[in-house]
Amino acid sequence: MKLLITRPLPDPVMAAARARFDVTARANTLPLTQDELRASLRDYDIVLPTLRDLYSAQVFADVAQPRAKLLANFGVGFNHIDVAAARAAGVQVTNTPGAVTDATADIALMLILMTARRAAEGERLVRAGLWEGWHPTQMLGTHVSGKTLGIIGMGRIGKAIARRAHHGFGMEILYHNRSATDPGLPARAAPLEQVMAADFVVVAVPGGPATRHLINAEALACMKPHGLFINIARGDVVDEAALAKALQSRQIAGAGLDVYEHEPTIHPDLLPLDTVTLLPHLGTATLEVRTAMGLMALDNVFAFAEGRPLPNPV
């Protein structure tokens, strides 16, 4: 069977794939072009795509009878794939849940700490040669321990963030979730507007039409003036223009972002703000995690090739 891997993946993943399949591996780190998207459905039995490989309804409409019968997505998020259109075309879709949980939760806590303690701003100060030495009122930030954390989306990643914040920093946890859940620790479910009023707010919901611009001007208006906002979910969950205005007007104190609405383009009004920590989508960027993600994607590929039930269908 012919397998297309759309981006470079860690060596153990590539070796495992090549041991079982006729593999074509793109060396390009950019997403598939429109022509490549259509060719992938026509020319391969299985495709292993990832973030920003945009399999829209139009792509499936243009390939009436795709040879490919599985998109084994590398990543837990799959809002770049129109799953309904894929199913209508006879193409199954899988993802890699679980493998990304701890690494993404770690990034959320890192952004909380970096933003609260002005770490990125301080590092820029040192590198610029402008630091004049310690003094009692230099770069005073926000204390994290014992504060209230609001988590929007209490799935695997939300719960992992809650554990770290509660057990590591003694934070009180509020959360908003679309369905009833057991957080596994002391936490209180609350309406979105109440969760947005926490000292720190972290968004950990899936991307897609249902959550696009969930965090808009109205939601941001519920935050406290000292509130810090963190996004490790999907960029389009947040109306970046509204977030920039809230930061510029000091309606909220700061933000930490690992994902962006029009990635890799950053809203220009965010770039000059020292109150914002900006990371280049590092959520799962460790060799161990990316290898585990790739091997999980291949578990789905192997199951498909062998006619077994898919481990992680979406």
| 3-class DSSP assignment, residue 142 | coil
pLDDT level of residue 266 (50, 70, 90 thresholds): very high
Are 94 and 310 in contact by the 8 Å Cβ rule? The answer is: yes
Give me the mean pLDDT over the 269-284 stretch. Answer: 97
pLDDT digits (tens, 9 = 90+) for 158-186: 999 999 999 999 999 999 999 999 999 99
CA distance 152 to 185: 16
Distances (CA, A) of 148 to 83, 161, 223: 37, 13, 12
Do the strands 228-231 and 46-48 form a parallel or antiparallel pair, or are they unpaired?
A: unpaired
Q: Please tell me the predicted confidence (pLDDT) of residue 131.
A: 96
Domain 101-278 annotated CATH 3.40.50.720: yes
Across the beta sheet with 188-189, the strand order is 188-189, 172-176, 148-152, 200-203, 228-231, 254-257, 276-278
Q: Please tell me the predicted confidence (pLDDT) of residue 50.
A: 98
Q: Please tell me the predicted confidence (pLDDT) of residue 206.
A: 92
Please give the backbone phi and psi of residue 11, each rounded to the nearest 5 degrees, phi first: -55, -45
Q: Tokens for 103?
A: 């690494």
| Catalytic, out of 20, 67, 156, 281 | 281
Q: Tokens for 225?
A: 């003036």
- Cα 172 → chain centroid: 24
pLDDT level of residue 76 (50, 70, 90 thresholds): very high
Are 270 and 278 in contact by the 8 Å Cβ rule? The answer is: yes
Q: What are the extents of the domains in the chain?
A: 2-99+286-305, 101-278
| 3-class DSSP assignment, residue 194 | helix
Domains 2-99+286-305 and 101-278 share a fold: yes
Q: Please tell me the predicted confidence (pLDDT) of residue 101.
A: 95
Give me the mean pLDDT over the 190-200 stretch. Answer: 98
Q: Is 234 a catalytic residue?
A: yes
| Catalytic, out of 7, 166, 234, 267 | 234
pLDDT level of residue 95 (50, 70, 90 thresholds): very high
Q: Is 118 a catalytic residue?
A: no
| Catalytic, out of 20, 26, 212, 263 | 263
Are 295 and 12 in contact by the 8 Å Cβ rule? The answer is: yes
Q: Please tell me the predicted confidence (pLDDT) of residue 222.
A: 98
Query: What topology does CATH give the domain 2-99+286-305?
Result: Rossmann fold (3.40.50)
Give me the mean pLDDT over the 50-68 stretch. Answer: 97
Give me the mean pLDDT over the 31-60 stretch. Answer: 98
Give me the mean pLDDT over the 263-291 stretch. Answer: 97
Q: Please tell me the predicted confidence (pLDDT) of residue 287.
A: 97
pLDDT digits (tens, 9 = 90+) for 206-254: 988 999 999 999 999 999 999 999 999 999 999 999 999 999 999 999 9
Q: Please tell me the predicted confidence (pLDDT) of residue 254.
A: 98
Residues of the chain with pLDDT > 70: what percent?
A: 100
Rg of the chain, C-alpha, whole Å: 21
